[in-house]
Structure 1
């Protein structure tokens, strides 16, 4: 496959395409959200109950509310104590583990969007394309690497956002062009330098639209939660010109 990049996409074109893909796949958006959130919160509630995590956090918060601002130091100490327990460590590992397992579910949308472009029939199994054979191990390996670095910088103000920008197109590059992780990150960085403004604006729009559903109602969130994938694919398609 020969590729020419970067092209000259406009913000309007990228967002118009993204919302077209999103609108064409509402059923799959709903299915994605039900599967993703259902599995995630099932694991969350199971391990939270097993290690009594939420009750401990709620008890600490309740004590703070009763004492007021003067109890902030005691509240911080209590939270740090809870987070240092083996139970919380196991709970955290379970949450990370289920997040890693669920990440390949996003890849199915790239397969679906490509089929829309090719005017090919879409089947329910396309949503689970990221779990096929070696594809699954490739993308969970990438997400483990991505999350490891993200967790190291998450407490900073700017670096997490920069990391998201620098890896935004890595997944479609790995899926469609079979790029290796570091090669895809290098390409993503080059594209980011050439098209910073449209990528930046699209990420902000994706973030706002993704969580606006939660702000309005839970049902709305089931449809807006996966909007990231449509915007990422639209960016990829607009920037890269693939020719077989």
Structure 2
């Protein structure tokens, strides 16, 4: 398929389009969050209890009174234990496993564009066939780079922007990871203002539901996918 970069859209158009998709799929946003947090928290509490992570964390908190350096040293000692490392691997593994759940929204939003009936099974489109392994392989690559860039914050934001369209390009156009990153970079150079503004809005809205009214976060948490799809649909053309 060919791709092109049309005339620049306004940020207001991209955001209105994203909120349209989000509003049309509130039930699926809720189902996504219930499934995501249900599996994630089950794994979290199971391995936390198995390796005594909560108890170790509470013990380390006692050293806060002695200063940040002492507390940091205790946290470092806890992180070096075999149990904590296995716990971290379990959390990393379930996070990677859950990633393809996001891709289901791309199929749902596309069905809205085509006026097709949406089904709950569409939410699991990212788990269909061998593509599942392609998506989790990409996310493993993305996740490990993100972990190392997160300490600088700025580099983490840049990494997010550089890979914003990789998943939809893989999903809709069957692009390979590095080919998709290259296309993403070209789009970023042309739409950097729109992309960074949308990233900021998406992050704020994604978590504002938890801050304002906790259960509301179940609806706003997956909003990120609507932003990505709206940007992708505006920037790229699949005709050809």
Q: TM-score range by the shorter chain?
A: over 0.9
Partners of 2:6 and 2:130 in 1: how far apart?
Answer: 29
Question: Cα deviation per residue 1:59-89 (whole Å; 9 max; x = unaligned)?
Answer: 211332xx3xx43222111110000000010
Moved more, 212-221 or 83-92: 212-221
Show structure 1 runs of 5+ residues with no match.
none
Partners of 2:209 and 2:62 in 1: how far apart?
Answer: 29
Instruction: Quote the offset at 1:6 in angstroms.
Output: 4.5
Quick check: 1:176 aligned with 2:181? no
Q: Which residue matches 1:60?
A: 60
Partners of 2:7 and 2:130 in 1: how far apart?
Answer: 31
Question: Cα deviation per residue 1:200-241 (whole Å; 9 max; x = unaligned)?
Answer: 100000000000011012210000000000000000001112
TM-score with structure 1 length normalisation?
A: 0.96
Q: Which residue matches 2:195?
A: 199
Number of equivalences? 240
Question: Cα deviation per residue 1:176-215 (whole Å; 9 max; x = unaligned)?
Answer: 0100000000110110010100101000000000000110
Question: Cα deviation per residue 1:126-169 (whole Å; 9 max; x = unaligned)?
Answer: 00000000121110000000011112222123111100000011
CA contact (8 A) 1:214 1:220 kept: yes
Q: Which residue matches 1:43?
A: 43
TM-score with structure 2 length normalisation?
A: 0.97
Moved more, 2-11 or 75-84: 2-11
CA contact (8 A) 2:63 2:70 kept: no
Moved more, 171-180 or 7-16: 7-16
Over aligned residue pairs, what C-alpha RMSD do you find?
1.1
Quick check: 1:14 aligned with 2:14? yes
Show structure 2 runs of 5+ residues with no match.
none
Instruction: Quote the offset at 1:112 in angstroms.
Output: 0.3
